[in-house]
RNA sequence: GCCGCGUUCGUCUAGUGGCCUAGGACAUCGGGCUUUCAUCCCGAAAAUCACGGGUUCGACUCCCGUACGCGGUACCA
């Protein structure tokens, strides 16, 4: 495949949606596989939803995922500018060209009138569409209105009763009756284009060859086809690949921006690995030919076939299942060597954590966390004093914990320093035997004494990190607390 | 309402007319390992292939219809 050019066109309205990343992933892999270019174009045509810092956040996110683009507003490229707000003259030129050719017209209808019209259509159970009032305006009326500075939009004029065929790589040929296509606004009254005009113009001018986008765009594709025809660009219509829409976990509706799990910052904050997220995203719509679940990003390229062009993705919309993502992320974590894992974990935790301690904890925790955020509660007892909850202590099946702990302290004091894991374990197994308590229960008490918890990373290794003094201090402290409440902890 | 797309275990999927008494993964449950929790290993349960008609010697696979779901129906993208 030659001169492959793909693009992603996010709107700067906030944190990027996980669906944007999903789409970008396909673009990126596709471009890489065929030696093409991956373009990022900023679609900032909606001034109402525009968010100042969003563009920066979008680029940070794409960087985080390693989805590097070849042309974008920051680095430029042969078809700059790549921000639609900087291309207004271009869209206007084509909008007016369409008017001249008779494929578009001025519309002076007010918002209020349009709203009322739609309301009426709804009560009459008619499809809500523009009623073409301004289509019948004659030249003089238009001139008059323009002279009087009446705000206008430009709408595309859709021919009656024509079959418009959309060729989608996944769904095949889909026919639409043009009578059901609305006379869509292509240029808004603020001089900005709508998506429909902007995509067509930009994709044409930027020589985009393949359009990967969500299936929610399928119903508006005939509008775009028509626009290509009106502009005389029918030979340059890109190949469409309408990807299945990712649904909410409950399957009711598409992954909505309202949900925290739809936004990439959620995954960043929870400490997911970008490569695991990408793997998951690929996995829900595509299956590896070798049946693998875990595979590198570029394996997704196996989904693309030439002659005839085909993309192997599922047709129905998958639900976004956080549980499986967590499993997958855990797999990635465990596959990593301790050093790189420490490095990444430190990046996540920030400078308030001591690097050396974190490094020591990594081998003890890597099999116990699914994402970096899990590390914090698991190891909090290392970094801060434990809080002892006697309710929790009561779950340990030991009659008189205070006496046992005193024995532990005695043994600890007599133990040669520095404490060694092997000798340590042996000593305390013997002690448990001597005291006639189950080893498991005994260690649970010990665990509680140093951490205030019943679930921790391996006991002796944790103690080693904690240090001799701190360990003894904590046990002593628990003894004191037990004393204060009468030592009757096991009721 | 109208238009479009879809429908295989709870979830993601394999399956392109006989290999399917439907395979894998996650989740669930049971067992092993084990100082807890995990990891790891073994095993179980889980889909009348949405339903109804065709076509065919034979259908999860092809065709039609119905139901359900999703998407679209903006001077949002």
**pLDDT tens-digit series, residues A170-202:** 999 999 999 999 999 999 999 999 999 999 999
CB A285 within 8 A of CB A313: yes
The pLDDT of residue A63: 97
State the average pLDDT over residues A460-486.
Answer: 87
The pLDDT of residue A129: 93
CA of A327 to C1' of B45 (A): 21
Q: Is the pLDDT of residue A258 over 90?
A: no
Is nucleic acid strand B under 7 Å from A45's C-beta? yes
Is nucleic acid strand B under 7 Å from A441's C-beta? no
CA of A54 to C1' of B30 (A): 50
CA neighbor of A246 nearest in space, from A21, A472, A471, A480:
A21
CATH of domain A87-206: 3.90.800.10
Q: How far is CA A377 from CA A265, A382, A383, in A?
A: 20, 10, 10
Q: Which 136-165 positions of A have CB less than 7 A from strand B?
A: 151, 153
The pLDDT of residue A486: 52
The single-letter DSSP state of residue A211 is E
Strand order in the sheet with A185-187: A104-107, A153-156, A185-187
The pLDDT of residue A489: 44
A390-484 sits in which CATH class?
A: mainly alpha
Which nucleotide is closest, CA of A84 to its C1'? B77
State the average pLDDT over residues A198-211.
Answer: 98
pLDDT band at A150 (very low <50, low <70, confident <90, very high): very high
State the average pLDDT over residues A159-173.
Answer: 94
Is nucleic acid strand B under 7 Å from A49's C-beta? yes
pLDDT band at A308 (very low <50, low <70, confident <90, very high): confident
Alpha helices in A43-101 (DSSP H): 54-64, 88-100
d(CA A350, CA A306): 46
| Residue ranges per structural domain of chain A | 5-73+246-311, 87-206, 337-380, 390-484
Name the 3-class secondary structure at A247.
Answer: strand
The pLDDT of residue A485: 65
Strand order in the sheet with A37-40: A37-40, A5-8, A210-214, A239-243, A163-168, A172-177
pLDDT band at A487 (very low <50, low <70, confident <90, very high): very low
State the average pLDDT over residues A342-364.
Answer: 96
d(CA A459, CA A447): 6
d(CA A284, CA A407): 55
Q: Is the pLDDT of residue A411 over 50?
A: yes
The pLDDT of residue A490: 45
Alpha helices in A317-456 (DSSP H): 322-335, 338-349, 355-365, 375-383, 390-393, 401-414, 421-435, 439-451
Is the C-alpha dihedral spanning A43, A45, A49, A55 positive or negative? positive
Let me know the angle formed at the C-alpha of A401 by A396 and A407, rounded to the nearest 5 degrees: 130
Name the 3-class secondary structure at A305.
Answer: strand
CA neighbor of A182 nearest in space, from A153, A222, A217:
A222
Peptide bond into A159 cis (omega under 30): no
State the average pLDDT over residues A15-22.
Answer: 94
pLDDT in tens, A357-408: 999 999 999 999 999 999 999 999 999 999 999 888 888 888 888 888 988 9
Q: Is the pLDDT of residue A356 over 90?
A: yes
Peptide bond into A441 cis (omega under 30): no
Estimate to the nearest angstrom the gap between the alpha carbon of A45 and the chain centroid.
23
ipTM of the complex: 0.96
d(CA A427, CA A414): 11
CATH 3.40.50.620 fits A5-73+246-311, yes or no: yes
> Are both A5-73+246-311 and A87-206 of the same fold?
no
The single-letter DSSP state of residue A153 is E
CA neighbor of A71 nearest in space, from A207, A166, A231:
A207
Is nucleic acid strand B under 7 Å from A365's C-beta? no
Nucleotides of B strand lying within 7 Å of any protein CB atom: 1-8, 10-15, 24-27, 35-40, 69-77
d(CA A347, CA A351): 8
Beta bridge partners of A214: A243
Which nucleotide is closest, CA of A317 to its C1'? B70
d(CA A28, CA A298): 9
Is nucleic acid strand B under 7 Å from A409's C-beta? no
Q: How far is CA A166 from CA A4, A174, A223, in A?
A: 21, 5, 10
Q: Which residue has the higher pLDDT, A435 or A12?
A: A12
Query: Whole-model pTM?
Result: 0.94
CA neighbor of A449 nearest in space, from A490, A488, A417, A481:
A481
Is the C-alpha dihedral spanning A469, A470, A475, A479 positive or negative? positive
Q: Round to the nearest angstrom and report the end-to-end CA distance of chain A.
A: 76
pLDDT in tens, A53-69: 999 999 999 999 999 99
Is nucleic acid strand B under 7 Å from A176's C-beta? yes
Which nucleotide is closest, CA of A190 to its C1'? B75
Q: What is the DSSP track for A80-96?
A: ---BGGG-HHHHHHHHH
d(CA A364, CA A347): 18
The pLDDT of residue A391: 87
d(CA A346, CA A353): 7
Residue showing tokens 């002659």: A307
Q: How far is CA A260 from CA A255, A257, A264, in A?
A: 10, 7, 9
């Amino acid at each position: 495949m030659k001169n492959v050019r793909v693009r992603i066109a996010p709107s700067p309205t906030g944190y990027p949606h996980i669906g944007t990343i999903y789409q970008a992933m396909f673009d990126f892999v596709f471009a890489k596989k065929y030696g093409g270019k991956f373009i990022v174009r900023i679609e900032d045509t909606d001034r109402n939803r525009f968010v100042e810092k969003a563009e920066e956040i979008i680029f940070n996110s794409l960087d985080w995922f390693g989805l590097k683009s070849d042309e974008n507003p920051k680095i430029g490229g042969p078809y700059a500018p790549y921000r639609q707000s900087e291309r207004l003259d271009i869209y206007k030129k084509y909008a007016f060209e369409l008017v001249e050719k008779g494929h578009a017209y001025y519309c002076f209808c007010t918002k209020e009138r349009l709203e009322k019209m739609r309301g009426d259509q709804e009560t009459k159970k008619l499809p809500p569409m523009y009623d073409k009032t301004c289509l019948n305006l004659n030249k003089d009326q238009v001139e008059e209105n323009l002279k009087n500075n009446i705000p206008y939009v430009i709408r595309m004029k859709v021919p009656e009763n024509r079959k418009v065929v959309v060729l989608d790589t996944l769904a095949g040929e889909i026919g639409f009756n043009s009578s059901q296509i609305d006379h869509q606004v292509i240029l808004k009254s603020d001089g900005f284009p709508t998506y429909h005009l902007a995509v067509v113009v930009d994709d044409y001018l930027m020589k985009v060859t393949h359009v990967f986008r969500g299936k929610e765009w399928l119903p508006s594709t005939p509008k775009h086809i028509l626009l290509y025809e009106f502009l005389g660009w029918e030979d340059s219509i890109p190949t469409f690949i309408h990807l299945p829409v990712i649904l909410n976990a409950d399957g009711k509706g598409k992954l909505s921006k309202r949900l925290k799990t739809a936004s990439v910052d959620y995954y960043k904050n929870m400490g997911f690995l970008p490569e695991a997220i990408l793997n998951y995203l690929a996995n829900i719509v595509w299956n590896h030919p070798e049946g693998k679940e875990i595979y590198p990003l570029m394996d997704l390229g196996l989904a693309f076939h030439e002659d005839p062009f085909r993309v192997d993705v599922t047709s129905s919309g998958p639900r976004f299942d956080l549980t499986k993502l967590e499993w997958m992320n855990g797999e990635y974590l465990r596959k990593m060597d301790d050093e790189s894992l420490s490095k990444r974990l430190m990046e996540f935790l920030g400078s308030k954590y001591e690097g050396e301690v974190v490094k020591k904890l990594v081998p003890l925790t890597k099999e116990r966390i699914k994402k970096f955020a899990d590390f914090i509660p698991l190891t909090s007892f290392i970094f801060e004093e434990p809080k002892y909850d006697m309710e929790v202590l009561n779950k340990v099946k030991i009659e008189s914990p205070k006496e046992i702990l005193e024995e532990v302290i005695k043994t600890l004091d007599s133990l040669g320093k520095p404490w060694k894991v092997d000798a340590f374990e042996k000593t305390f197994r013997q002690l448990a035997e001597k005291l006639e308590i189950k080893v498991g229960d005994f260690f649970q008490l010990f665990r509680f004494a140093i951490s205030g918890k019943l679930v921790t990373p391996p006991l002796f290794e944790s103690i080693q990190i904690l240090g001799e003094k701190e360990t003894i201090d904590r046990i002593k402290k628990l003894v004191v607390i037990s004393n204060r409440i009468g030592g009757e902890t096991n009721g």
